[in-house]
Amino acid sequence: MDPFKGFIRTEGRLLKDENGREYFLKGMAFGNNVWTNPAEPPYDTHHSKESYRELSEMGFNSVRFYLNYGLFEDDSNPYTYKESGFSWIDHNLEWAKENGMRLVLNMHYPQGGYQSQGEGTELWTCEENQKRLCSLWKAIAERYKDEPCIVGYGLLNEPVVPSDDNEKGRIMWEKLLGNMISAVREADKNHIIFAEKILTFQNEHTHELEWSRSDNNFVMIPESYNIVYEFHFYNPFTFTHQGLSWSNTSEFNKVYPNEEDIFADGVSWHAGAFNGEQCDPDKREWQYVESSTVTVTDDNQILSYVFQARELGEDGAVYVDDVAITEYDTDGNRTRIIYKSDFEDSCSMYFWANNNIGTGEYISSKGRRSGGSYRVSGTTDDASGSIGFFRPVKDCSYKASGYFRVRRSSEEATIRPRVDIWKAESIYFLNKDFLRKDISHYAKFSEKYNVPVYCGEFGTGTLSFKEDKGGDRWVSDVIDIFNEYNISYNYHTYHEESFGLYMNSPLERASERNELLYDVLCRKNKE
């Protein structure tokens, strides 16, 4: 039975169903193993008809359905489309209809490569790949132009544009996006088009992702009819991706909410404790070193712990362990330790080098007593590892300390702990207000341009649900904020080891469900 008699459409900031009623997307992602670049659909390994029934019972009404171009065409035979890819969508449409669910088709892995981690540069440097992507979308639109079970088409997931100039990069995305929209509209004027913001830019020479140039990089579409502007939400990354080795956050150990976990906007360096002790570079055993003190004079100041390892030399290396920041009152009396870590199991230090030479890394062994330590090596200019930010008390003074072990160093090396004071325009803590601040930018965009916005992906990794780290509380608060701003959403993802509702592979449905995530999604979807 087909329960859908008409299409979902946009009207100002809203989505409306075939009866003119406001429609709110509550979705779950089906990843469909697209990252393995499959040539055939995952009929037996990812989900089944029963999965749609389960999601419907959980309160979801849609699935963001990930596509890999390889399901439809081979690189050796471009523009010749395989029926197996379309049959896979057809099967899922049938299963979705039986359970009152709709699909958002999303091109997650296009010709030229997967975008999100900067591995899809050839989409941008090879014009033929762009032509193939446009042609494939036209074929999909032609096939499904009269299918109301499909909400619309997400033309490209998380575009990463290889450009050293932001404006040039936006023009590159605007051109490709416009060409894809034109190709779809030639065949299909019924369905919504989901236009994503640029995820980030990629350095043209080093191919590094340059997250510092990321912003609300939406490209405005001249055609306003049936366009939804899409963003993704995984803030803060150090919480949602903690413990995932592929995300460079394996050392983080975050809890949500945490009123001591500080995030700041408009940060500028103010002062540092430069007059304290330094390590003896000729001493090879662990040595205890203290910094001088610095005094906080303003309510908008925050602190960081700094492990300075300047000019170690190409062969130089030094370890730090058992670090602390100690607070003293106006009379010089010690009042408390505001930060302390023995690096037993993890370390959240951020490495910086003025000339980008050298490395900083957590070493799971070689601690002072047991466990791990943090090592800086190979620096030839000013360099440091830092941890922060921390909330101080105005008029109090602070001192950094730690144990250091020098393995090798140059004669010019400076090795010491330091407390740095930073000024901030605004300070937030890891709580619901912090999440609201970030999501509100998209709500303001929606209001300013009178267009609908949609969170096509939000989620937090499975490790954030362990040991009461608060993954379920994060999910609950994010959905509350989406509801507050009337933003449709889609949870990432149904079946995947890192983020999935089901964490096992291949799919054995009852064995590895994240019950905390299941419970919070059921509850929030039905509120």
pLDDT digits (tens, 9 = 90+) for 9-29: 999 999 999 999 999 999 999
Report in angstroms the alpha-carbon separations of 42 from 35, 250, 325: 12, 29, 52
- CA-based diameter of the chain, in Å? 80
Exposure class string for 90-107: b at 16+ Cβ within 10 A, else e: eebbebbbebebbbbbbb
pLDDT digits (tens, 9 = 90+) for 492-526: 999 998 999 998 766 665 568 999 999 999 999 99
Q: State the residue for tokens 């920041």.
A: 325
pLDDT of residue 508: 60
Contacts of 274 (CB under 8 A, 6+ apart): 292, 418
More confident residue, 210 or 389: 389
Give the span between the Cα atoms of 94 and 101, in whole angstroms: 10
Categorize the per-residue pLDDT at 251 as very low, low, confident or very high, splitting at 50, 70 and 90.
low
Q: Which residues pair with 383 in a beta bridge?
A: 353
Contacts of 128 (CB under 8 A, 6+ apart): 78
For the record, the structure tokens of 150 come out as 């499909």
pLDDT of residue 3: 84
Kindly state the average pLDDT of the residues 404-423. Answer: 96
Domain 9-233+512-525, what fold? Answer: TIM Barrel (3.20.20)
Q: How high is the mean pLDDT of the chain? A: 93
Categorize the per-residue pLDDT at 207 as very low, low, confident or very high, splitting at 50, 70 and 90.
confident
Which pairs with CB-CB distance under 8 Å and at least 24 residues apart come from 144-147? 144/89, 144/105, 144/188, 144/191, 145/187, 145/188, 145/189, 145/190, 145/191, 146/190, 147/93
Is the per-residue pLDDT at 213 higher than 60? yes
pLDDT of residue 84: 95
Q: Which residues pair with 221 in a beta bridge?
A: none
Q: Of the CATH numbers 2.40.128, 2.60.120, 1.10.3470, 2.60.40, which one belongs to the domain with range 261-427?
A: 2.60.120
Is the per-residue pLDDT at 247 higher than 80? no
Report in angstroms the alpha-carbon separations of 65 from 28, 44, 52, 153, 189: 9, 16, 12, 10, 20
Q: What is the pTM of this model?
A: 0.89
Categorize the per-residue pLDDT at 103 as very low, low, confident or very high, splitting at 50, 70 and 90.
very high
Give the span between the Cα atoms of 201 and 194, in whole angstroms: 20
For the record, the structure tokens of 93 come out as 């449409």
pLDDT digits (tens, 9 = 90+) for 337-386: 999 999 887 787 889 999 999 999 999 889 998 889 999 999 999 999 99
pLDDT of residue 1: 59
Kindly state the average pLDDT of the residues 400-420. Answer: 96
Kindly state the average pLDDT of the residues 39-58. Answer: 92
- Which DSSP string corresponds to 64-77? EEEEEGGGT-BTTB
Kindly state the average pLDDT of the residues 400-419. Answer: 96
pLDDT of residue 507: 60
Kindly state the average pLDDT of the residues 217-221. Answer: 88
C-alpha radius of gyration, the chain, whole number: 26
Q: State the residue for tokens 């004079």.
A: 297
pLDDT of residue 107: 98
Give the span between the Cα atoms of 299 and 394, in whole angstroms: 6
pLDDT digits (tens, 9 = 90+) for 415-469: 999 999 999 999 999 999 999 999 999 999 999 999 999 999 999 999 999 989 9
Contacts of 49 (CB under 8 A, 6+ apart): 95, 98, 99
Is the per-residue pLDDT at 81 higher than 80? yes
For a pLDDT cut of 90, what percent of the chain falls above it? 83
Contact 306, 272 (CB under 8 A): yes
Exposure class string for 116-138: b at 16+ Cβ within 10 A, else e: bebebbebbeeeebbebbbbbbb
pLDDT of residue 523: 98
- Which DSSP string corresponds to 403-414? EEEEEE--TT-E
Categorize the per-residue pLDDT at 250 as very low, low, confident or very high, splitting at 50, 70 and 90.
low
Q: Domain segments of the chain: what residues? A: 9-233+512-525, 261-427
